[in-house]
Amino acid sequence: MIQRQEQRGRNRTGEEKMLVPIRCFSCGKPIAHLWEELHARMAKGEDRQKVMDSLGLDRYCCRAQFLGHIDMIEDIAKFKKN
Amino acid sequence: MTGQSKKVERGEGEYKMAEVKSLKQDKLRGIFLFENTDHTYLNTLRRIITNRVPVMAIDEVKFMENGSAMYDEQIALRLGLVSLTTDLESYFVRDKCKCKGEGCARCTLDLTLNKAGPCTVYASDLKSKDPAVKPMFPNTPITKLLEGQTLKFEAKAILGTGKVHAKFVPGLMFYTSVPKFKVKDAKEAKKLVEESNKVLESDGKKLALSDYSKTDFALSLVEDHPDAVEVEMSSTDYVVTIESWGQLSVKELMSRAIEVLDEELDELEAEIKDLK
Ligand SMILES: [Zn+2]
Ligand SMILES: [Zn+2]
């Protein structure tokens, strides 16, 4: 699934994948500062659902932002024309 | 924080003072129980919170250098959405400022950023001229820079309202009316309470919610037992959640919203008096 999304260059919501959105598209809650903590804790073996609960992502709109997103900026940046 | 306009006298006519109880307070979220009010008032408050309470946000960005993979516009949008802690006492909305919209120290704040890769540019890298106005969430990533890429810009933050742009929205409010239960069948009701995992409480005669945040769960449970209880949604009592996006505290947000409502009512009153 991830492989296919990367080939398309877009995430499930059709946005160009760059960096995690600053705010949730639906409710407006600032969420970008939680992205790195979520992945750091998931890398330590914590369950995604439990980390999201403890980060205060109560609504499914905010959770969906993270579930449908892959950071692609570092790959895209290599092809930047200066 | 009561629900009346300042000019209404207490005890006049059918008027009843609204009562507000705090149920739970987090850093950026407050849950309240409003009694003796109605949804019209609450919805007015909700719309004022999202549309009319001014907060700071970056509005203009002048790029000197942008070597990152993101376009200038993309970075400017991300900067705008970063929530800045707002001090409403020391700044004015531009249109109401003495400078008449030209921009001065009383209505505009300058921020700068200068970074060279390889690194992630965070909101905390923004250098603000006023220590009271800074990013609420310093770990917010703005963009990433590779080796040899640089980002340098000057930005201007102003006060604005959610009516103008979503970046000026200070928070979110939502509410649900409190359900009142009437027991129809004691046996069935007992079963219901047992199944509810302590969300519903009973003292033999009456049934009540123990946790207002689980209203939806309780109602869906009651739907599965149609013979047990009768539910009536209150038209005067509401559980209200107010979430702040970080620019203002929940208390400030609420009192500002009530101030704005008062101002608008005064304005309306003056307009009506002029009518012939
Ligand atoms: Zn959301
Ligand atoms: Zn000014």
Nearest to B140 among A27, A32, A78 (CB): A32
Pair of tokens at residue B72:
């200038």
Cβ-based contacts of B70 with chain A (< 8 Å): 18-19, 73
Nearest to A19 among B136, B144, B149 (CB): B144
Cβ-based contacts of B172 with chain A (< 8 Å): 27-29
Task: Tell whether B83 and B162 lie within a shared domain.
Answer: yes
Q: Is B6 helix (H, G, I), strand (E, B) or coil?
A: coil
Residue scoring higher pLDDT (B29 or B210): B29
- Which residue among B144, B168, B192 closes a domain? B168
Cβ-based contacts of B72 with chain A (< 8 Å): none
Domain segments of chain A as ranges: 2-77
CATH number for B227: 3.30.1360.10
- Tens digit of each residue's pLDDT (9 = 90 or more) over B160-217: 999 999 999 999 999 999 988 888 888 888 888 888 888 888 776 778 888 887 888 8
Q: Do B137 and A30 lie within an 8 Å CB cutoff? A: yes
Residue B231 in domain: yes
Q: Which ligand is nearest to the CA of A61?
A: 1
Q: Which ligand is nearest to the CA of A60?
A: 1
ipTM of the complex: 0.81
**C-alpha–C-alpha distance, residues B56 and B167, integer Å:** 9
Mean pLDDT in residue range B236-250: 93
- pLDDT > 90? residue B114: yes
Residue B275 in domain: no
Q: Percent of chain B, pLDDT > 90?
A: 54
Task: Tell whether B175 and B104 lie within a shared domain.
Answer: no
Residue B254 in domain: no
Residue B260 in domain: no
| Sign, Cα dihedral of B157, B138, B88, B167 | positive
CATH number for B150: 2.170.120.12
Nearest to A73 among B138, B144, B166 (CB): B144
Cβ-based contacts of B242 with chain A (< 8 Å): none
Mean pLDDT in residue range A22-42: 93
Task: Tell whether B112 and B208 lie within a shared domain.
Answer: no
State which residues form the domain around B239: 7-52+171-244
- pLDDT > 80? residue A9: no
Mean pLDDT in residue range B119-130: 93
Confidence band, pLDDT 50/70/90 cuts, at residue B75: very high
Task: Tell whether B156 and B198 lie within a shared domain.
Answer: no
Residue B108 in domain: yes
- The total number of structural domains in chain B stands at 2
Q: Do A37 and B67 lie within an 8 Å CB cutoff? A: no
Residue B266 in domain: no
Q: Do A33 and B137 lie within an 8 Å CB cutoff? A: yes
pLDDT of residue A81: 63
- pLDDT > 60? residue A5: no
Task: Tell whether B163 and B194 lie within a shared domain.
Answer: no
Q: CB neighbours (10 Å) of residue B175? A: 19
Residue B210 in domain: yes
Residue B155 in domain: yes
Query: Do the strands B127-128 and B200-202 form a parallel or antiparallel pair, or are they unpaired?
Result: unpaired
pLDDT of residue B34: 92
**C-alpha–C-alpha distance, residues B178 and B132, integer Å:** 40
- Tens digit of each residue's pLDDT (9 = 90 or more) over B87-111: 888 898 888 888 887 888 889 999 9
Pair of tokens at residue B122:
């965070």
Q: Percent of chain A, pLDDT > 70?
A: 76
Please state which CATH number belongs to domain A2-77: 1.10.10.60
- Residue B183, exposed/middle/buried by CB under 10 A (0-12, 13-18, 19+)? middle
